[in-house]
Amino acid sequence: MKKVSAIICAYNEEKTLKDVILSVSESLIVSEIIVVNDGSSDNTQKIIEELQKEIEITAIHLTENRGKGYAMAVGVENSTFDIMLFVDADQSNIIQGYINQLTNPLLIEESDMVLGYSTVNILSQDVNPLKILTGERALYKEDIMPILDKMKESRFGVETLLYFYYISIGKSIKFIRLKGMTHKDKYKKMSSFNATTGYINEGFEIAYTAMKNYDLMLKTIKRQVKKGLKL
């Protein structure tokens, strides 16, 4: 049976990181926990070191902030098992069922990648137009080994890269709504100016990654058009 490596990438997440790690450690499905400290300047490293006294954690401390894509790739490189479960470090609550929902389709080989997303209520409808950018996801390690270098360069555009890559090579993606999942947005973690700047930078990184991987975008569009014509 395939085993699961949980990868938690953290950058200045001292308020939520401990609870996230503890929640993941309680899952019987997870065989390994890897925490990548992406050059944090707060108490992230101290929290990880304290938890290592009671939980088996593979800790990687980067000396400078290299971006989410780089941290995720380093986590994969240091993993042992077949399935990579990525969990955001800024969650304010993790329901144990989330981990099962994300990993089960891979354990039974029903899908190649599973994305777990939250929603917002607009006009009495639960929607998420950006669900491809969710940080909660599970996938097979062997599938992303060929693009680890691209991931390292993508920073916050890593989710965009993964989506285009999977569609372009014909891999299946399953979306699962994780009811009750919440994240702390930047306005709750830092000043309004820094939060706004952060969101603008992330938007730029997403757009830059998409344009840099223009070939994957074209392959994705062609495959989607071909799929539509068959229907």
Q: What is the 3-state secondary structure (H, E, C) of 102-135?
A: HHHHHHCCCCCEEEEECCEEECCEEECCCHHHCC
Percentage, residues of the chain above pLDDT 70: 70
pLDDT digits (tens, 9 = 90+) for 35-93: 999 999 999 999 999 999 999 999 999 999 999 999 999 999 999 999 999 999 988 76
**Domain ranges (residues) in the chain:** 4-230
Count other Cβ atoms within 10 Å, centred on residue 48: 23
Question: pTM for the complete prediction?
Answer: 0.81
Determine the Cα angle at 90 with ends 81 and 178, to 5°. 70
Top CATH class, 4-230: alpha beta
Q: How far is CA 58 from CA 62, 80, 164, in A?
A: 13, 11, 30
